[in-house]
Structure 1
Amino acid sequence: MTRKLRIVHCFRSPVGGIFRHVRDLSAAQTAAGHAVGIVCDSTTGGDFEARLFAEVEKTLELGVKRTPMQRHVGIGDLLAAWRTYRIVKAMRPDILHGHGAKGGVYARLFGTMMRLSGQKPARVYSPHGGSLHYDAGTTTGRIFFALERLMDRFSDQILFVSDYERRTFEAKVGKPHSPSHLVHNGLNADEFIPVPPRTGAADFLYIGMMRDLKGPDLFIDGLALAEKSTGRRLTAVMVGDGDGLDRYTAQARELGFGERVQFLPAMPAREAFALGRIMVVPSRAEAMPYIVLEALAAGKPMIASAVGGIPEVFEESSPALTAPDASAIAAKMSLALADETAYLAAMPATAELRARFGADVMAREIEEAYLACLSS
């Protein structure tokens, strides 16, 4: 092992891909002998996330510290930031790694403040999409990108999870002044074991946050259009939590699906994979979503929006890729149903996925980036 590092991961919302990324990275770093801790929001997440925290906290030498963090910028940020700063400072990190927009600001701001008091943590930032989803032509977008340009000056390393994310950063914010690297998200070895659909599994499966950015409404509308075009009574399972859940439930009911679209709360992805035969990721925007990698590694045939870093997982000619549009998604649903065996055969090979998106590859490359910060 190289020197033992004190690593603190800071982010706001402990749900979805960022939380998954931090859990995997923390586990790999702990296994490598480093002291790792997590600092995040205490007001986000439900019972599922609470169980995940209970599992991960047992393994982290620096523990899990949760404190209220606002999603949007406001006057309450001042108190929240000061409270979070004191927590992070007491953990004495060598590496302060911020994830997402809020975590990225906190890590670089706190790391700079700590340097004034004698500590010298390396300030690392992973956008995970975050503020990069905003339109550069809007007032909100201009404010966020100006803040990104300012905080870039206080970064020691920026880690992008997809080439799309890197290109978007350069287009909207500018070429980073700090060193940057592309490190894809990675999966653990046991996630490359196939998960067959259970008897009576639904035709289609959605797993994700119940919010418009992830496209649940496109999934439901696409399902209705595919039902009309195929003449088959289709079924689906939608797994996830979020503010839009009641609205999507009503949408499915109004389109006549009733109980043929089943809504279930968030659960481990590999448990959910058995509930449907064909996975659909209808996102309007993404960086590099874990759910795409997880589903492919589990042997699921997939339909996925060609947004963000998703196309980097597939070949350009892959039938899996679609526009984030209900009609386009419906056409792909019909194609997949016509010959499910042939459609599955067109997905990326498992060996290729493991070589490009293994957790061991991800952890090794991120550790090399940390060490480069400390030696500069």
Structure 2
Amino acid sequence: MTDRNDPHAPADGKLRIVHVFRSPVGGIFRHVRDLAEAQAAEGYSVGVVCDSSTGGAREEELFQQLVPHLELGLHRTPMKRHVSPTDFLAFLRLFRRIKALNPDILHTHGAKGGVYGRIIGTLLRVFGSSVARIYCPHGGSLHYDPATRSGRMFFRIEHFMERLTDAFIFVSRYEADTYARKVGAPKKPWRIVPNGIRDEEFDPIETEPAAADFLYIGMMRDLKGTDVFVDALARLRDRRGVAPTAELVGDGPDKARYEEQVRRLGLDTTTRIHPATATRKAFAMAKVVVVPSRAESMPYVVLEAAAAARPLVATRVGGIPEIFGPESVRLVPPGDVEALADAMAEQLDDPRRASEDASRLREIVRPRFSIDHMTEVVSALYRDCRAGRPAPGLDKRPIL
């Protein structure tokens, strides 16, 4: 909670925190929910502002669970993913809503939320507010190739936006290094704060009696490697003469294309596709979890699968090697169908070894990724930004 002896604290002693992001799906949404709930439990006043046109039934269910923790409310308004003529109208709506909330902290997440929130925070300062502007990329624009026109444009925007930023939070060393390489080493205070998970997520999960061989759970888009996973299923079928069974769980812009891919490859009798559902419920549906991503930052699904001791196949991208630690030798190259199929076959064919691998990874993850630590470090950064001093304990190592 806010220190009441702090001259920068709000008059009522309750720091007013508003989280701003675009898309209420996937890792960003999980990160904001966890942080908002923990901050509310610490006694802060918390609000959330995000897009109203993204998400489905599962996201609505999660919002209903979150709302009781939001003293400053849930505010949803349309925000396009890409640059659009409607952005100015969206900005005006957001400005009015956020100004009315009178935040002490604007914690922005992702590329679009980061631009909207930090510009709004800067305008609020012009009108006399002392709001602190925090930015966490969560991958976002950092996934773009700097050799492309769009990549160069986004990185120029990111570079400019640092002027409107009081501190950065990166969820992995990979994300911090990527920002430094593509945008430039940040001159403002920054901290690496890995995603955290709850104690109960380390409880074991009982696999369903009729469980499939493999599970993919996450956003249905090429960035997450959904197409590579389906191709690997076909490759295993061609090698063995019998297709493995699989469950695909999630929603996203390319879902219809993957349904067509499953039919085209003749996998429709052994592969089922479901809407998004609770992660631990999905884990019980299959023997092995597969995370075939082409790009990541610090994916929750890997942390959740590791905590639940689920046999796991994942790619060597983003912060995943940081999660696996000494077990990272098991990771496979992104986009490599043959390597993914090999790793999937190894986990399926030797259940005892798969279980031992999962148990070792669980013990690696347990002491390093907690919501309590995540919240504590973020709160300290808030206090230091509002006090106008460099945040103590910032990671001073150079990032390249």
What TM-score, normalized by structure 2, do the two folds share? 0.92
Residue type of the alignment partner of 2:344: M
Q: How does 1:47-58 map to 2 (within 5 A)?
A: 47-58=57-68
Q: How does 1:197-236 map onto structure 2 within 5 Å?
A: 197-236=207-246
How far apart, CA to CA, are the structure 1 residues paired with 2:301 and 2:361?
17
Q: 1:357 aligns with which of 366, 369, 379?
A: 369
Kindly indicate whether residue 134 of structure 2 is the aligned counterpart of residue 129 of structure 1: no
Partner of 1:375: 387
| Structure 1 alignment gaps of length 5 or more | none
Matched position secondary structure for 1:170: helix
In the alignment, is the contact (CA less than 8 A) between 1:210 and 1:244 conserved in 2? yes
Correspondent of 1:13 among 18, 23, 32: 23
Question: 1:228, CA displacement in angstroms?
Answer: 2.9
Of 255, 267, 282 in structure 1, the residue corresponding to residue 292 of structure 2 is: 282
Q: Secondary structure at the match of 1:314?
A: helix
Q: Is the 8 A contact 1:104 1:127 kept in 2?
A: yes
Opposite residue 33 of structure 1, the aligned amino acid is G
Q: CA deviation at 1:64?
A: 0.2
How far apart are the structure 2 equivalents of 1:252 and 1:164?
33
1:170 maps to which residue?
180
CA RMSD after TM alignment: 1.3
Report deviation, 1:196: 2.2
Listed as ranges, the matches of 1:260-339 within 5 Å are 260-318=270-328, 320-324=330-334, 325-339=336-350
Map Cα deviations across residues 68-121 of structure 1 (whole Å, 9 max, x no partner). Answer: 111111221111111101111111111100000011111211111000101111
- Cα 1:264–1:56 shift into 2, 3 Å: same
Kindly indicate whether the alpha-carbon contact (under 8 Å) linking 1:101 and 1:131 is maintained by their aligned counterparts in 2. Answer: yes
**Alignment deviations for residues 205-261 of structure 1 (CA, whole Å, 9 cap, x no partner):** 000111111111100111111233345431000000112112111211222222210
- Structure-2 separation of matches of 1:357 and 1:86: 36
Deviation at 1:28? 0.4
- Letter paired with 1:350: R
- The percent of aligned pairs where both chains have the same amino acid is 51
| Deviation, structure 1 residue 316 | 4.7
Runs of 4+ in 1 over 4 A off after TM superposition: none
Residue identity matched to 1:363: T
* Aligned match for 1:138, one of 142, 148, 152: 148
Unaligned runs of 5+ in 2: 4-13, 389-400
Q: Is the 8 A contact 2:324 2:361 kept in 1?
A: no
**Counterpart in the other structure of 1:237:** 247
More moved, 337-346 vs 187-196:
337-346
Return the letter of the residue paired with 2:350: D
- The CA distance in 2 between the partners of 1:29 and 1:159, in whole Å, is 16
**Equivalent residue, structure 1, for 2:51:** 41
Report if the CA contact (8 A) 1:11-1:103 is conserved: yes
Instruction: Indicate conservation of the 8 Å contact 1:230/1:334, yes or no.
Output: no
- Aligned pair count reads 376
CA gap 1:102/1:63 in 2 versus in 1, 3 angstroms: same
